[in-house]
Amino acid sequence: MSGARPISSLDLSPGIRTKLTKAGFQTVRDLEETTPVDLSKGISTDDALKILQQTKRNTVDAMSASEVLVRERLAASISTSSNAIDNMLGGGVPIRKITEFCGAPGIGKTQFGIQLSVNVQIPETLSGPEGEAVYIDTEGSFIAQRAAEIASAMVERVNGHQHAGTEALVNVDTILSKIHYFRLHNCVELIALVKVLDEFLKEHSKVKIIIIDSIAFHFRHGFSDMALRTRILNSLAQDLTKIAHSFNLAVVIFNQMTTKFFVSSDRSATDQAILIPALGESWAHQCNNRIILYWQDGIRCANLIKSANRREQIVTYQIGATGIRDVIDDASSSRKRPREDLND
């Protein structure tokens, strides 16, 4: 059995093998059964990543292109509760894809995450995925009370479609119980969790969305070796892509914005600075869809800047007490106005 293989069979440096042996690890099974946090103690990020990669069993399954097409057509997208954003994405956040929302603090990224973790539970009878959510919180921004408020609004809308006298389709407590929450405190914990996430998903087969809020928080500082950071992020994206396909679910990642300066060659001209998504160009290629969230004239805007099958488009949205919604058209004015808009 592969799990009974000794530590010495792994392609690791003698120093790492010595550290593992002193820590009590003798076989590959010992590594598979330990927790990610325990494994990361006393071992560098790069070394922990190598160990986790080698202790996982890699399987490759093939299917025909027609099977892939049928699977994509049958997959239910996950609604954002904004018709404008759903239409922009082709029906909602797509299954089997990585979708990234980028934006400055206060624009509503966490609100989107909570809304999606609730909406993924919309029953199949109402054309929803009827699934569960994994919420990975790297910043501590998830607020359970806010999730309860958004869930309550969804319960009211969903149960309003049922026939009178029948049992309620969903309730708030049930919705909250199907959001599997992970609070992580550093990039090692994030890498380790993703590496073992397939085991969790095998036990929770109803999960239809993985949310990471946010990807940049633990990668923007503390990395002197940018090449190492790029390798780690690329490996993380590859693992998430594999999970999305293997378990037929959506991956939604929230990213922060950073300032990029352009130095003018003309000394008389003023240098310019713009806001761009964090983590650089290499990371930008890892996601299937990228949406930039920003303010314009007091209105929240969502700009789809990257998609394999959708054109670039800008739509508006608002955040109210009930969650993400469309901006209301004001018949007495040529512009749109938000209603009960809230911040993150």
Express each pLDDT in 206-244 by its tens digit. 999 999 999 998 888 777 888 999 999 999 999 999 999
Domain range annotation of the chain: 80-337
Beta strands in the chain (DSSP E): 98-103, 132-137, 179-183, 207-213, 250-255, 257-262, 272-277, 289-296, 299-306, 313-320, 323-325, 328-329, 336-337
Q: Is residue 176 within 8 Å of 217, Cβ to Cβ? A: no
pLDDT for 137? 97
- 211: tokens are 């949310």
Least confident of 47-56, 127-136, 176-185: 47-56
Summarize the confidence of residues 266-285 as an average pLDDT: 81
Contact residues for 309 (Cβ-Cβ < 8 A; gap 6+): 90
* Residue 57, pLDDT above cutoff 70: no
Banded pLDDT at 337 (limits 50, 70, 90): low
Q: Are 116 and 133 in contact (CB under 8 A)?
A: yes
Asked if residue 271 has pLDDT above 70, the reply is no
pLDDT of 333 higher than 50: no
The number of CA neighbours under 13 Å toward the Cβ of 76 is 19
Residues 311-321 have a mean pLDDT of: 96
- Average pLDDT of the residues in 156-175: 73
Mean pLDDT across the stretch 188-199? 94
Q: Is the pLDDT of residue 338 over 70?
A: no
Residue 152 has which token pair? 């309550």
Q: Evaluate if residue 329 carries a pLDDT over 80.
A: no
Per-residue pLDDT band for 324 (boundaries 50, 70, 90) equals very high
Cα dist from 175 to 110, 171, 223, 258, whole Å: 17, 6, 38, 35
Rounded to the nearest integer, the mean pLDDT of the chain is 84
CATH architecture of 80-337: 3-Layer(aba) Sandwich (3.40)
pLDDT tens profile 72-126: 655 669 999 999 999 999 999 999 999 999 999 999 999 999 999 999 999 988 8
Residue 132's pLDDT is what? 98
pTM to 2 decimals?
Answer: 0.76
